[in-house]
Amino acid sequence: AAGVIQSPRHLIKEKRETATLKCYPIPRHDTVYWYQQGPGQDPQFLISFYEKMQSDKGSIPDRFSAQQFSDYHSELNMSSLELGDSALYFCASSLGRMIEVGNTIYFGEGSWLTVV
Amino acid sequence: KNEVEQSPQNLTAQEGEFITINCSYSVGISALHWLQQHPGGGIVSLFMLSSGKKKHGRLIATINIQEKHSSLHITASHPRDSAVYICAVSGNTDKLIFGTGTRLQVFP
């Protein structure tokens, strides 16, 4: 069965550069979530989209932006990268929002971003 | 105090042992999720519970809504079960609140 696909899996950028991460949800899934997991830390919720509209926002820096496109894939754009942005970025998807009981969330393998 | 607490933080077992990981939460939830994260990052959703008990293979998850407590049990543990097990809760937002995880190592 198709899973959540993230690309690239690994990315190395220099400080002040820009990076874009892509997420392709499971087919028919209409909700996408982005999480950031720093080394040795719990995943932190960044932002979510439902039916191409932002549905919830967490601790996403102003330097970051994201959107969900008409085919439901999502992109996380990160600008003016800082060393502290080095982390594993997870995308997840679900059919319907998690606030509706019964909707299971599926995670991608994550994209490793290293800022040097 | 974290909104989601797990115990133990680290767990070592011999192959074949019965394992229990506990999760307590202090917030209202719509569902509780048990997740597995292997070295290298990938997170797999094991269970989503809003009440009662679920079983999948050697894994059993229970939740007591009144006591705000959930347990994940692994029967006949195997070295391939070695991973970080994470309890996370969802409420009235899209955000999952994660516990700090339990690192399990099963030795042959």
Answer whether A7 touches B (CB < 8 Å).
no
- pLDDT of B37 > 80? The answer is yes
The verdict on a CB contact (< 8 Å) between A105 and B33 is: yes
**A93 vs B: CB within 8 A:** no
Using CA atoms, how far apart are residues B31 and A103, in angstroms rounded to an integer? 9
Amino acid (1-letter code) at residue B19: I
DSSP 3-state of B102? strand
Of A74, A20, A80, A81, the C-alpha closest to A47 is A74
pLDDT band at A52 (very low <50, low <70, confident <90, very high): very high
Coil, helix or strand at residue A44 = strand
Residues of A in contact with B86 (CB under 8 A): 42
Which residues are registered as beta bridge partners of B36? Answer: B44, B85
Give contacts of A55 with chain B, Cβ < 8 Å.
Answer: 94
Contact A48 B30 (CB under 8 A): no
Q: Which of A33, A42, A58 sits opposite B100 (nearest CB)?
A: A42
Predicted confidence at residue A101, as pLDDT, reads 64
B85 contacts B72 by C-beta, under 8 angstroms:
yes
Q: How far is B90 from chain A (nearest CA, A)?
A: 7
Give B92's contacts in chain A (Cβ within 8 Å): 99
The residue to which tokens 């939460």 are assigned: B25
Share of chain B above pLDDT 90, in %: 75
**pLDDT(A103) > 90:** no
B94 vs A33: CB contact, 8 Å cut-off? yes
pLDDT category, A86, cuts 50, 70, 90? very high
Q: Please state the rounded mean pLDDT for residues B5-22.
A: 97
- Give the 3-state DSSP-derived string for A50-100, with helices as H, strands as E and coil as C: ECCEEEEECCCCCCEEEEECCCCCEEEEECCCCHHHCEEEEEEEECCCCCC
